[in-house]
Amino acid sequence: MTTLASPADHGHAFDFRSSQFGADAQTLARATGVCLDTCRQQLFIAEGDMALAFEWLTAGYAADPTAPTLH
């Protein structure tokens, strides 16, 4: 997923019940050291965008995103 993807582009991978969503959350947990529940929540808030979720987990919400987020 990119930050420029539209909601219609998310498809099955954006479904928080999918195995890919779970794998992405586990990857974020390993990369950041943050608990899995928090990683799942941030990934969901970031609409499946791994880069944006990683940025929020590591830099916080006060940081300016490196790319625009369109909702």
pLDDT digits (tens, 9 = 90+) for 40-54: 999 999 888 999 999
- Dist. CA 14–CA 34, nearest whole Å: 20
User: CB-based contacts of 30: which residues, under 8 Å, 6+ apart?
Assistant: none
Q: Is the pTM of this model over 0.85?
A: no
Instruction: Write down the pLDDT at residue 15.
Output: 75
Confidence at residue 5, expressed as pLDDT on a 0 to 100 scale: 45
Q: How far apart are CA 8 and CA 6, in angstroms?
A: 5
Residue ranges of the chain with per-residue pLDDT less than 70: 1-14, 63-71
Q: Which two tokens stand for residue 34?
A: 């943050």
